């Protein structure tokens, strides 16, 4: 029997970027989390600088608090990281960054690497950026697969990417990449902004939905539950209806001042998910 969704909500360092990672781990453990999605961002886990030994120390710090790193999510929705860049140098260095991130994920003990498709030039044909993204994702997924990792691709809002924005886009990209270890991360805000529902994702992707970013929005934003307008009860019910058994992360950013004091927003969101899961 699948555990209730509240028991599958990860801890994360989203919104903790101005605090020590140890403080984040202390809070997540105190809030009963057993898994962590680690945002690969400075100062906590900056991919270009992080050594294998430093990654293992992060893993050990989580495990000492009864948690394990489940997903590694490098910061990637900003230059200079863009796997679909028209610049050969930027694209090559971005792919190299993700290859390195996969190696770091192994030392973190994570089984999953989080990816996005980047963006093509706004003044070029979409097919050109799409082809660059597909080739890069194939290379990254193959490298990650050789290391024993799964990958997930997250559709982004149009302001973030001009390539993969919808569930249908994600299904097409997965088909073009052709990597069995590449699934999709359903982001509730990106889905709402694109006009997609949870049902749309499962209709297009089925069991290729392998991770969830469960966040409120209006409809955009990375908001604590209750600070936006998305229908949490309906989202949770849809995930349960489709038998989703994976993890989900409450991906809070600085919106609403969360980064100044993150724990109350995380705690409030967990309480909302618990209630929606029938465990409130």
Ranges of each domain in the chain: 5-276
| Spatial separation of the C-alpha atoms in residues 22 and 13, rounded to whole Å | 10
The pLDDT assigned to 114 comes to 98
The overall longest dimension of the chain from CA atoms, in Å, is 51
Our separate counts of H helices and E strands in the chain read 9, 8
List CB contacts of 206: < 8 A, sequence separation 6 or more: none
Q: How confident is the model at residue 136 (pLDDT cuts 50, 70, 90)?
A: very high
Structure confidence by residue, pLDDT tens digits, 21-53: 999 999 999 999 999 999 999 999 999 999 999
Structure confidence by residue, pLDDT tens digits, 1-10: 688 999 999 9
Tell me the mean pLDDT in the region 248-265.
88
Count of beta carbons in the 10 Å neighbourhood of residue 121: 14
| Spatial separation of the C-alpha atoms in residues 68 and 61, rounded to whole Å | 9
CATH of domain 5-276: 3.20.20.150
The pLDDT assigned to 145 comes to 98
| Spatial separation of the C-alpha atoms in residues 53 and 260, rounded to whole Å | 30
Asked if 211 and 181 count as a contact pair (C-beta separation under 8 A), the reply is no
């Amino acid at each position: 029997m699948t555990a209730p969704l509240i028991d599958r909500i990860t801890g994360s360092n989203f919104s903790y970027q101005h605090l020590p990672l140890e403080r984040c781990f202390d809070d997540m453990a105190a809030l009963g989390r057993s898994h962590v999605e680690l945002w690969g961002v400075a100062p906590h886990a900056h991919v270009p600088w992080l050594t294998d030994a430093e990654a293992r120390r992060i893993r050990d710090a989580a495990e000492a608090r009864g948690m394990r790193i489940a997903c590694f999510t490098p910061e990637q929705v900003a230059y200079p990281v863009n796997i679909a860049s028209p610049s050969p140098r930027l694209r090559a260095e971005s792919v190299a960054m993700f290859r390195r991130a996969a190696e770091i994920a192994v030392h973190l003990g994570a089984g999953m690497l989080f990816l996005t498709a980047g963006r093509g030039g706004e003044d070029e044909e979409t097919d050109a950026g799409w082809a660059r993204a597909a080739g890069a994702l194939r290379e990254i997924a193959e490298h990650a697969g050789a290391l024993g990792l799964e990958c997930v691709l997250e559709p982004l809002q149009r302001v973030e990417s001009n390539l993969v924005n919808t569930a249908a886009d994600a299904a097409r990209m997965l088909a073009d990449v052709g990597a069995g270890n590449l699934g999709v991360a359903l982001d509730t805000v990106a889905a709402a902004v694109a006009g997609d529902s949870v049902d749309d994702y499962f209709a297009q992707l089925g069991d290729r939905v392998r991770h969830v970013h469960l966040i409120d929005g209006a409809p955009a934003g990375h908001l604590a539950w209750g600070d936006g307008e998305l229908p949490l009860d309906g989202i949770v019910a849809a995930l349960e209806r489709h038998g989703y058994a994976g993890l989900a992360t409450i991906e809070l950013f600085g919106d609403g001042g969360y980064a100044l004091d993150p724990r109350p927003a995380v705690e409030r969101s967990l309480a909302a998910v618990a209630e929606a899961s029938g465990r409130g």
